[in-house]
Homo-oligomer: A and B are copies of this chain.
Amino acid sequence: MFDPMSRITDPVLASKVTTPERAAELIRPGDTVGMSGFTGAGYPKAVPSALAERIEAAHDAGEDFRINLLTGASTGDEVDGVLARAHGIAKRAPFLSDPTLRRQVNAGEVEYTDTHLSHLAQQVWFGFHGKLDVAVVEVAAILPNGLLVPSSSVGNNKTWLDLADRVILEVNEWQPRAYEGFHDVYYGTRRPPYRMPIELRDPLQRIGDPYLRVDPAKVAAVVRTNAPDRDNSFSPVDQTSQDMAGHLIDFLRHEVRAGRLPENLLPLQAGVGNVANAVLAGLAEAEFEHMTSYTEVIQDNLLALLDSGKLDSISATSFSLSRERAKQFNAEIEKYKGRILLRTQEMSNHPEIVRRLGVIAINGMVEADIYGHVNSTEVNGSTMINGIGGSGDFARNAYLNFFVSPSTAKGGSLSSIVPMVPHVDHTEHDVQVLVTEQGIADLRATAPNERARRIISHCAHPDFRDRLLDYHDRAWRENPTARHAPHILAEALSWHQRAQAGRPM
């Protein structure tokens, strides 16, 4: 009866195969829904669109229909895009990147709770987000007894499958069946006071199972799909990115020479984006060997570093590849087995593990101020970009952290180094090294005024340097008894006021 090469070999679950439309009927107005998906990988491809149609029909009929949507991180147009266009999302966590949804968040239509990626799963377990009604999870295959082969991301899927009242599975044949063996799903989590140490000591160490598990009785529908993940292409590495990567890699060299880093460095984490991509490209040319990566996301250049033999292994929770690279990976997947593990994001980003392993964290930023506070999420303190993602999980607990940005934006009219950031995601207590194409500011073990000198002279663009120095000098002179981190409050946000008015800073 059952083809062992089929994607669904559990007889009970095979009997639940249905259409996306029928599956979407299981989701009701006001439900809290946990969907799979992390940086555009492993998200459901069919049910959310069918749900969006239901929602639009309900709205046309004058009915209210919105859901609270939890995921791993960003998804694809087939989740956040279609649901946002249907005005179907009331609340959203923990991260987003869809332009329509972002616009709705910034229009005040959607309540967005910007959450550390390592925190959401436990917060749902603790009951802080209420009851989880439905899970919609993409997998590569369904095995007997509700064992599931995850697809290109793990994210929060374990938690959604464990906690949801009703489960909808999407089996995506575009995802290689050979993903079996690429995952490590830790089933040792507990709620306090019953938590145990997580016995992970090495980036590639297995501490869990290769499968997700689901109670077959909870599975209300199974949907077959065959659709690719989001195309996560980056622009080619430009000179600015190359310069930033160069400074960062020189700094790592310096730390190795000073005996503060081993010759093969420590496990690398790189955020998603052009700069991280450039750093990874730079590392492919550098002398470091036997590197490892303990990170969230596997992007093209991280895979290239593995291919080059410079990198021994990668632990992550998700892929975020260009369409081209994804095709190639899927075709050659066997050669990566045993060198890549995808974990739950609770583990890939876990403070306990990040601190223990001594991760080197490399993350982008919007801007930093002269005392080393970093804004990663909100333009002018009000407008959400994407969210904090895992930057806080990694940076706060890293052995060494870097925050990286070009020194200017909008054709040089805005400075990424400002007197005071209007929103803080990473405080002065946590930020260690700032990098722009101008240079690098080592803020470790420094007091605020020394930080200001280093940041302004090494990282700020020359067009803004004198004005930043002048701000700091005047703040110092005008505050003889408040010189720990002197500010001129009437001026501190004036750079952003000009930017908000569409003028150069």
Contacts and interface: CB of A to CB of B under 8 A. Distances in A.
Interface string A373-403: 1000011111110001000100011010000
Given A91-B447, A260-B127, A381 B492 contact: yes
Given A197-B198, A382-B482, A396-B396, A445 B123 contact: yes
A191 B358 CA distance: 8
A451 to B, nearest CB: 9
A481 to B, nearest CB: 5
A200 B384 CA distance: 39
A112 B384 contact: no
Contacts of A476: 108
Given A128-B445, A384-B484, A357 B192 contact: yes
Contact of A112 (B103, B116, B484, B497): B484
B382 A484 contact: yes
B116 A429 contact: yes
B382 A485 contact: yes
A420 B420 contact: no
A123 B444 contact: yes
Residue from A127, A267, A485 having most chain B Cβ neighbours under 10 A: A485
Number of copies: 2
Residue from A378, A379, A426 having most chain B Cβ neighbours under 10 A: A378
A114 B381 contact: no
Interface stretch (A141-149, A170-178, A320-328, A348-356): A348-356
A267 B202 CA distance: 30
B192 A197 contact: no
A193 B358 contact: yes
Given A195-B358, A197-B199, A444-B123, A484 B105 contact: yes
Given A428-B114, A481-B107, A482-B382, A262 B351 contact: no
Interface in A249-285: 258-260, 262, 266-267
5 smallest CB-CB distances across A and B, nearest first, come from A192-B358, A108-B483, A111-B447, A424-B424, A382-B482
Interface of A: 91, 93, 103, 105-108, 111-116, 119, 123, 126-130, 191-193, 195-202, 258-260, 262, 266-267, 351-352, 355-358, 373, 378-384, 388, 392, 396-397, 399, 420, 422-430, 444-447, 449-450, 475-476, 479-487, 489-490, 492-493, 496-497, 500
23 contacts: A107-B480, A107-B483, A108-B449, A108-B484, A111-B447, A119-B429, A192-B357, A195-B201, A197-B197, A197-B199, A351-B352, A352-B355, A378-B484, A380-B482, A381-B489, A382-B485, A392-B427, A422-B492, A424-B427, A426-B427, A490-B493, A492-B493, A493-B493
